[in-house]
């Protein structure tokens, strides 16, 4: 693709004076509008800003590539701006990136997934070439800038390289756009400098590109998985030495990664017979990386479940709000009500609750899938169902206390490692090979998960939850602040899990008997999700350090919205990614917020934690101040601690 054919000299601007990302974007969109490529400037701006919320468009080395697709765009085009003063607060893949060159890509809705990906991939790979970016920055006129866009490297240079080894690679990032291509280009360039032929398959938003053939893989000496998500079709690499790393690492350590793949790999990709799923056999040092990637994969698949469940419940509660039925919507009488609207809202609310029940099974299933591929899915799903307490329905034990998110994490990881171990160690005759993935592995892994849950996970974490519930009950005679702190900490502990529900049952019982109001309970429901959502916004627009990964930045926006609707589950992905950071901060923030409100005289007797219940609070100013204190603590504590961890990693790198 020739890049200059997709722009115009009037769309290239030099020495642009802008103080923020949005100012740059607005100026570029205005230029595109004046050239007649978009019909509505406001509509396209909305599309671009919406895309900015999903993941960083700032890259490395002073570059940013914002983009958007919209029906208001008449023809695919891009504009470029060279800034007078670099912007340090543009959200970027490289935390230290200071943006000075910006490409704005406008794509018609009908070309989504085709044109814009081609432009992005071409730009990304070109910008990895020596002196390419420097040439664009040195251009003295728009025409010279355009001429330098499509400068190709001399073809004879690669022919002089005598390759001694061949390494194949897969690159894939969470969004599957720029970093996927830039990582691939970095590996190829590093390989050329080392005398190693590197062939890269990109698993991006446009599907699999430059797919590695069977012959190429067969003749390769090693394979590199530079991915932030589980690579597709891992079975092709059976028997190959491999290295697993993050997608951004080749941009900084391309040569080291290639040398490690050849000389000191993480392990060997193992594959049994035809229908078996692939596994990896580690030589050490890969256990933690496997586990982290598995948890990230589980979270990425769980987030849509949380969003869908929260959306259904939110629509139902907002629809019931004008009729004063928010707190009564779950009553079975509305399933057969004469008003059809109430029937629909009732079932939407129930649907949201049903979707939430699949949250832990989906999470644990894809944790196991990341570790063992499809042979781990079933056992992982069953483990997540155990963690969510679905088994108590069938065991006639409605009083059973499930293990919650910790159980889902442990059982999902266990299912993956057990299935992977079985896949590696069980060897069958060719004629019996199909029995292993279809019968033996599911049977043994599910039995293992059953016994692990029955004898360890349920007793340990269910018992812990029961102890906490008894502790809450025993605290009923203590002072207001002590009881508020206990109820708030239990409510914030597992964000809608068994401890949260136990605290809720006791708090509602106390309120029903007019013993103690629900102030601490309702505040502790909304403080964690609002606080974490606020942390993402502060980090993005004020701090500018990007201490949260791309998927959690998207989740943060959802968490903030769900927090105002009193759906605390929106913050669960933060808890699963970093439980040792998130849980203590959530608990402290909830205690601070609830205690502040109670001490200042806020009183809420009704179980209405969502925003529509706030007008019913006595001394609302105290209630809102407690909310600000708790959410503010969670927001700034998360930013401070995560920033310190980020700086430590940067120093180590």
Enzyme catalytic residues: 67, 173
In the chain, % helix, strand, coil (3-state, to 5) comes to 65, 10, 25
* Sequence-ordered list of residues with C-beta below 8 angstroms from that of 60, at least 6 positions apart, any chain: 92, 93, 94, 97, 182, 251
**Minimal CA–CA distance to 439: which of 385, 382, 375?**
375
Q: Which letter does DSSP use for residue 103 in this model?
A: E
Is there a contact between 270 and 424 (Cβ–Cβ < 8 Å)?
yes
Would you list the DSSP string of 178-242? HHHHHHHHHHHHHHHHHTEEEEEEEEETTEEESPPPHHHHHH-SEEEEEESSPPS-GGGGTT-EE
- Token digits for 65? 């590539």
**Measured between alpha carbons, how far is 581 from 230 in angstroms, rounded to an integer?**
25
Question: What distance in Å separates the CA atoms of residue 528 and residue 630, rounded to the nearest whole number?
Answer: 8
Alpha helices in 21-128 (DSSP H): 21-34, 41-52, 115-126
Tokens matching residue 171? 């690159």
Query: From CA 604, how far away is CA 517, in angstroms rounded?
Result: 6
CA dihedral 530, 535, 536, 537 (to 10 degrees): 80
Cβ neighbours of residue 502 closer than 8 Å, sequence gap 6 or more: 401, 465, 468, 469, 472, 490
Residue at token pair 């001394």? 619
- Contact criterion met (CB below 8 Å) for 500 and 494: yes
Residue 618 and residue 206: Cα distance in Å, rounded?
54
Per the DSSP assignment, residues forming a β-bridge with 207 are: 204
Strands of the sheet with 222-227, listed across from one edge: 207-209, 196-204, 165-172, 222-227, 241-245, 267-270, 279-282
**Which residues, 6 or more positions from 331, have their beta carbon under 8 angstroms from its beta carbon?**
346
* Contact in structure between 412 and 298 (CB atoms under 8 Å): yes
């Amino acid at each position: 693709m020739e890049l200059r054919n997709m722009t115009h000299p009037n769309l290239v601007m030099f020495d642009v004076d802008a103080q923020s990302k949005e100012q740059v974007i607005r100026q570029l969109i205005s230029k595109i509008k004046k050239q007649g490529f978009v019909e509505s400037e406001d509509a396209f701006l909305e599309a671009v800003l919406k895309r900015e919320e999903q993941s960083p468009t700032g890259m490395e080395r002073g570059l940013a590539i914002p983009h958007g697709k919209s029906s208001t765009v008449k023809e695919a085009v891009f504009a470029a701006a060279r800034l007078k003063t670099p912007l340090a607060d543009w959200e970027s893949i490289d935390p230290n990136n200071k943006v000075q060159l910006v490409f704005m890509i406008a794509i018609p809705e009908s070309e989504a997934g085709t044109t814009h990906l081609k432009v992005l991939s071409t730009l990304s790979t070109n910008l990895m070439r020596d002196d390419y970016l420097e040439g664009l920055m040195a251009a003295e006129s728009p025409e010279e800038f355009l001429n330098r866009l499509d400068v190709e490297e001399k073809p004879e240079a690669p022919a002089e390289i005598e390759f001694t080894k061949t390494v194949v690679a897969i690159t894939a990032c969470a969004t599957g756009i720029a970093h996927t291509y830039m990582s691939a280009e970095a590996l190829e360039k590093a390989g050329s400098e080392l005398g190693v032929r590197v062939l890269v398959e990109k698993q991006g938003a446009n599907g699999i590109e430059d797919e590695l053939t069977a012959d190429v893989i067969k003749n390769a000496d090693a394979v590199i998985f530079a991915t932030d998500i589980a690579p597709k079709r891992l079975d092709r690499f059976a028997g190959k030495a491999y290295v697993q790393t993050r997608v951004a690492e080749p941009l900084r350590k391309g040569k080291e990664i290639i040398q490690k793949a050849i000389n000191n790999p993480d392990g060997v990709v193992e594959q049994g017979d035809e229908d078996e799923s692939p596994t990896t056999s580690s030589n050490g040092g890969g256990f933690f990386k496997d586990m982290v990637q598995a948890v990230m994969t589980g979270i990425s698949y769980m987030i849509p479940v949380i969003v869908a469940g929260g959306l259904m419940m939110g629509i139902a509660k907002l629809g019931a709000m004008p009729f004063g039925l928010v707190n009564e919507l779950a009553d079975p009488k509305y399933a057969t009500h004469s008003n059809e609207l109430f029937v629909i809202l009732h079932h939407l609310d129930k649907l949201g609750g049903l979707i939430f029940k699949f949250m832990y099974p989906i999470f644990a299933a894809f944790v196991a899938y990341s570790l063992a591929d499809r042979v781990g899915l079933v056992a992982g799903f069953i483990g997540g169902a155990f963690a969510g307490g679905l088994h108590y329905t069938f065991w006639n034990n409605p009083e059973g206390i499930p293990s919650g998110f910790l159980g889902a994490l442990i059982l999902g990881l266990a299912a993956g490692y057990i299935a992977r171990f079985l896949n590696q160690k069980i060897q069958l005759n060719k004629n019996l090979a199909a029995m292993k993935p279809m019968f033996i592995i599911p049977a043994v892994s599910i039995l293992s998960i059953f016994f692990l849950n029955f004898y360890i996970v349920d007793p340990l974490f269910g018992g812990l939850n029961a102890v906490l519930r008894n502790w809450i009950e025993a605290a009923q005679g203590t002072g207001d602040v002590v009881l508020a702190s206990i109820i708030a900490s239990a409510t914030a502990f597992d964000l809608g899990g068994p401890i949260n529900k136990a605290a809720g049952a006791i708090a509602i019982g106390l309120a029903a008997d007019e013993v103690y109001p629900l102030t601490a309970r309702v505040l502790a429901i909304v403080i964690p999700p609002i606080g974490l959502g606020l942390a993402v916004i502060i980090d993005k627009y004020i701090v500018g350090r990007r201490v949260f990964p791309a998927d959690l930045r998207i989740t943060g926006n959802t968490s903030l919205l769900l927090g105002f609707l009193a759906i605390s589950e929106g913050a669960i992905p933060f808890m699963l990614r970093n439980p040792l950071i998130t849980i203590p901060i959530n608990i402290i923030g909830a205690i601070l917020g609830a205690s502040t409100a109670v001490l200042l005289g806020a009183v809420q007797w009704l179980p209405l934690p969502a925003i529509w219940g706030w007008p019913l609070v006595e001394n609302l100013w105290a209630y809102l101040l407690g909310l600000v204190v708790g959410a503010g603590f969670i927001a700034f504590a998360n930013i401070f601690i995560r920033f310190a961890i980020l700086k430590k990693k940067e120093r180590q790198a």
